[in-house]
Amino acid sequence: MDSKEVKTGYKGIRIIGFISLMLLLIYLFFKDTYVEIGLQLKTAALGGILLIALLGIAYVICEGILVAIFAKKHRATYTYKEGILTVWYATFYKGITFGSGTKVAQMYMLNEQGIPLGISGSFLTLNYALHKLCVLLYMSLTISGWQQHLAHSYTGYIYFGYGLNLVIIGCLVLACTWKRFHELILWLLRKGLEAINKIELYEGVEAFLVDLEKESRTFFKAKGRLIICTLLNLIKLSCWYMIPYIAYWSMTREMSPIDFWEGMALTSVMNLLVGVIPAPVGMGSSELVYLMLFSSLFGKLTTDSTMLLYRMASYYLPFLIGIGVVMMRRFNKIREGEPCET
């Protein structure tokens, strides 16, 4: 057997091994929910399922366009396709790390596309700050739509979530724009790193804050780009926010007890509260808040069904498409004999 045949056989083993790993991950990821999801898909109207799936895909596409808008400033030839593939690639790592690896995966892809890690980290942070700001803006625009439908006992949670998001956004904006705030962060950081003998990390954080301030200064000066990115974020959020209303019709074939705008408004409340309300073991914060807000309106059984459809569009479907993107990249690298990321 010559070296070419050995090399071809080695590539085949790597491909088979990688496919086996992906199938195992799919099984582990869905083993507790695939039966429930299957039952809901059989029950729901086909048109509703397709529309919900398209909305989940549209959310990721909008996020990819936003990434491309930021990246184009640093590489003029950067394409929207690259931005969208970057976000799809990251949805796989979002799934297997429960969200913690999303930005790291995006930075890895952007680095391969010619955007240095420091720069991509700065504009992804700025993009996240704008996203959080738009979540709050959406909630503010729809406050009259949801207020009459929430039990009095939830009002404190909502105001707390609103206030906490204001604090988070305020810190992000200050970190993006105010040098005095940078100096405070760096002073506190230096004290902390000196205490644990990790002062070598200081320069990396300092460089990141410098890049973040430069990125923010140019972004906020470009009013047209700021408006476009804000509108894209609002459109992106709308893709998720209309899903519960459509899911209710899809499951019951009846008009929802709340109108379309109120359904959008309630989901904006849910997005605001996710991460604020502690979640019991075995349930994510989004599921907990979804059940809290919609159960009294849809009924427990229908709420469970619509929640699964919401999770399908916002989490499961992007994860599956992300697996396809990761596999495509891996196969291309194996075929070309390039080293693969772990």
Query: Tell me: the pLDDT tens digits for 56-77?
Result: 999 999 999 999 999 999 999 9
Task: Count other Cβ atoms within 10 Å, centred on residue 97.
Answer: 12
Q: What is the mean pLDDT of residues 281-304?
A: 76
**pLDDT value at residue 282:** 40
Q: What is the mean pLDDT of residues 187-198?
A: 76
Question: How far is residue 134's CA from residue 237's CA, in Å, rounded to a whole number?
Answer: 8
DSSP states along 147-201: GGGS-GGGHHHHHHHHHHHHHHHHHHHHHHH-HHHHHHHHHHHHHHHHHTT-GGG
**pLDDT value at residue 17:** 65
Confidence of residue 10 (pLDDT cuts 50, 70, 90): low
Q: What is the dihedral of CA 337, 88, 232, 138, to 10 degrees?
A: -150
Which tens digit of pLDDT belongs to each residue from 206-255? 788 788 888 888 888 888 999 999 999 999 999 999 999 999 999 888 88
pLDDT above 80 for 261: yes
